[in-house]
Amino acid sequence: MNSSGVVEKLHSKITNIVEKLGFELYHLEYVREGGQNILRVFIDNEKGVALDNCVEVSKAVGEMLDKEEPITEEYNLEVSSPGIFRTLYTKEHFNKYINHDVAVKLSALFEGKKKYEGILKGFDSENLMLEINDNEVAIPMSKVSLVTLNPTL
């Protein structure tokens, strides 16, 4: 099964488990790294996420996976917080972090650069708007490959 199929198949079940335990499912991914398949569950909470929380969610998700066996190939389960340098994946993430400092990596040069840092001011299907040194810069979304919070600015 391809990675998007695994995520699609498991998203609602894992969301339900995570929410019952008092957390938000921030992101779910199924990737192949270093020759291993990894199911990554990123959880979040307004109060933060401790190691014990990750263990609790890992146990609950692991029990469901063992019972239902939705993944037929060998894999590892990882549960963690998205961290302070979290990647923004969804429209909800972008909306939540408007007026926060972000780092943007591009897949191709834009105005001679492949990296930008600034304050996220907005976005739409065409552009990501950043405030950089009191100037608003519209970066084409087609060139954006990664946006992460950058609390060190």
> Does the structure show a pLDDT above 70 at 2?
no
pLDDT in tens, 105-141: 999 999 999 999 999 999 999 999 999 999 999 999 9
CATH architecture label of 91-149? Roll (2.30)
Indicate yes or no: pTM above 0.75.
Answer: yes
Between CA 79 and CA 57 the distance in angstroms is 7
Reply yes or no on whether the pLDDT at 62 is more than 80.
yes
Predicted confidence at residue 108, as pLDDT, reads 94
Residue 7: the pLDDT is 86
On the question of pLDDT at 88 being above 60, the answer is yes
More confident residue, 7 or 92: 92
Nearest to 80 by CA among 117, 103, 50, 106: 50
Can you give the pLDDT at residue 91? 94
Beta strands in 21-152 (DSSP E): 24-33, 36-44, 76-80, 101-110, 113-123, 127-132, 135-140, 144-149
Mean pLDDT of the chain: 94
Within 8 A by CB and 6+ apart from 103, the residues are 115, 116, 117, 147, 148, 149, 150
DSSP state of 86: P
Q: Which among 69, 75, 71, 41 has a CA at the least distance from the CA of 56?
A: 41
6 confidence band (pLDDT: 50, 70, 90): confident
Burial (CB count within 10 angstroms: exposed 0-12, middle 13-18, buried 19+), residue 84: exposed
The total number of residues shown for the chain amounts to: 153
Per-residue pLDDT averaged across 28-34, rounded? 94
| DSSP 3-state of 42 | strand
Asked if pLDDT for residue 1 goes beyond 60, the answer is no
Q: Does domain 3-80 have CATH number 3.40.250.10?
A: no
**Positions of CATH 3.30.300.70 in the chain:** 3-80
